[in-house]
Chains A and B, each alone.
Chain A
Amino acid sequence: MTGASALWDEALAQGRLLLQRASPQAKAIFPPREMAPLSGEPLECFEASGLGTIYSLTWIQRRPPEPASNVVIVELAEGARMMGRVEGADEATLRIGMPVRVRIADGADGPLVVFDLVEAA
């Protein structure tokens, strides 16, 4: 027996970002839960497309020469939002609304969801 969070962790360790939903039409849910908010219905897990856009962003300033680092909220294509970091981004050009793609990186404490900018075609 495993709770929703541990199942999510297991999937991430296998390189998959899971979201949940109560029905194929319903808005996706993150972070993982044992039941759908409000309705209490059971939730199904599915793999995120990995696409999203920057909903908001902040740059935490450091004492030079250490560069500023960003923290973003990403709205995934399926509708759920999550906190994250856009890697390789430039403070002067990163903007709310820019498209990003999920990458599962090696974080300090195991696999970690990070985001890369989707370059305009």
Chain B
Amino acid sequence: MGDRFPRGKVSVAGLATYGVGEWPGYSNIELAANATRLALADAAIPLDQVDGVFICLPDDLFAGLSLAQYLGIHPRFTDNNRAGGASFMSHLVTAVMMLEAGYLDCAVIAYGSNQRSSGGKLSTPARPDRWDTPYAPMYPLSYYALVAARHMHQYGTTREHLAEVAVAARGWANTNPEAFAKGPLTIEDCLKARLISTPISVKDCCLVTDGAAAMVLTRTDRAKDGPQPLVPVLGAAAATWYNSVTQAEDITITAAAESGARALAMAGATPADIDVVQLYDAFTINTILFLEDLGFCAKGEGGAFVSGGRIGPGGALPVNTNGGGLSCCHPGMYGMFAMTEAIRQMRGQAANQIGGARLALAHGNGGTLSAQATVIFGNAETV
């Protein structure tokens, strides 16, 4: 028992981004509220019909209450799940279940952050635990560095492999008008880049940008009559194995191995069926780990898998087709943006549209490879 999911019963009715890149002069909730307004307009649903609010903000532990107040609505349910960058995939799990059960009729998932304009650094209230703090790891960077170092030791992964991920992301970003980081980037550029916490260099790290995104979810029977191409949710699963990655059984295997398998099973799909993949690439090692854990290649083979431009424009597997957190945007918790690009691909509205794509996977990551959550989106043909 367990893991029953209403495949295709709930769909994305509306979607919007706001202030992606550099958007000075706005607070986090102002950005999130603007994205919500635009997502509802995209769905042609009035604000007073929203009865579920799902949000995680960098600085507001009561964000669900704050957004309801800001919008002037009285939702039946609010949720501020704070599983870091995977929060929004977890929000989606809850929202889908509540919509299908008839508890809610219209749910909004929103995020907004002004971290580039307000401080220029990752904005997060998360900290290392008391056992790690005395050793002064960079949070979260050094944790990802420790995983990357072990992955290299265990499987022979190299800095060139990491560079392939960054170069592929930049390739997609270069033809995406919304992407923040553009311009040529070579493997050589990445290898020469300044190291921060070995083996991670500045080119292995995601951007620090502003940005907001929101989506509107309704039951599919209603979304079918909406103005946008139908994007049903076919599967969604969150998995939790630990909080600090130092407590992992094997530091090179994340709970994505569980969330991915479960989400794919709900959708009735295998990795080979997925046409386009959106992964939370906080660091280049993430893309390699998640391609392995989600089943696109075997554990330890991720470095070889991404080589030769395989995940970049023109490659065999389109990954992070917006440019990802590495080159499109990273307003602190990127999960919402991985889903945004997956939904755009399913609608046929992406800047780098993959022709004929019918199934998209969006994967979120939070903390130090801690929270993992996977969502499978389809199109009208897949329900």
Contacts and interface: CB of A to CB of B under 8 A. Distances in A.
Contact of B246 (A73, A97, A109, A112): A73
Interface string A70-91: 0101000000011111000001
A108 B87 CA distance: 36
B195 A83 contact: no
Nearest to B251: A56
A31 B131 contact: yes
Contact of B137 (A30, A81, A83): A83
A60 B146 contact: no
Nearest to A80: B247
B93 interface: no
B198 A83 contact: no
Interface stretch (B12-20, B147-155, B333-341): B147-155
Contacts of B142: 58, 60, 71
Contacts of B129: 31
Interface string B198-213: 1110000000000000
A96 interface: yes
Nearest to B200: A58
Interface residues of B, number: 26
A107 B137 CA distance: 15
Given A73-B246, A81-B246, A82-B246, A60 B138 contact: yes
Contacts of B134: 107-109, 112
Contact of B146 (A31, A71, A82, A108): A71
B153 A56 contact: yes
B136 A56 contact: no
B197 A58 contact: yes
B153 A71 contact: no
B146 A56 contact: yes
Contacts of B195: 59, 61
A22 interface: no
Given A56-B153, A58-B149, A84 B198 contact: no
A3 to B, nearest CB: 13
A57 interface: yes
B196 interface: yes
B197 A59 contact: yes
A44 to B, nearest CB: 20
A83 B323 CA distance: 34
A57 B142 CA distance: 9
Nearest to A69: B136
Given A55-B150, A82-B246, A85-B135, A73 B251 contact: yes
B131 A83 contact: yes
B145 to A, nearest CB: 4
A88 to B, nearest CB: 15
Contacts of A108: 134
A23 to B, nearest CB: 19
Contacts of A109: 134
Interface in B109-168: 129-132, 134-138, 142, 145-147, 149-150, 153
B194 A58 contact: no
A61 B197 contact: yes
A59 B131 contact: no
B146 A73 contact: yes
A83 B132 contact: yes
A80 B131 CA distance: 13
Given A69-B136, A73-B146, A83-B132, 15 more contacts: A56-B147, A57-B146, A57-B149, A58-B145, A60-B196, A61-B194, A61-B195, A61-B197, A71-B136, A71-B146, A81-B247, A82-B131, A96-B153, A97-B153, A107-B134
- A-B pairs, 6 with minimum CB distance: A58-B145, A56-B150, A56-B146, A96-B153, A83-B132, A59-B198
Interface of B: 129-132, 134-138, 142, 145-147, 149-150, 153, 194-200, 246-247, 251
12 contacts: A55-B150, A56-B150, A60-B142, A60-B196, A61-B194, A68-B198, A69-B136, A82-B246, A83-B137, A97-B153, A107-B134, A112-B134
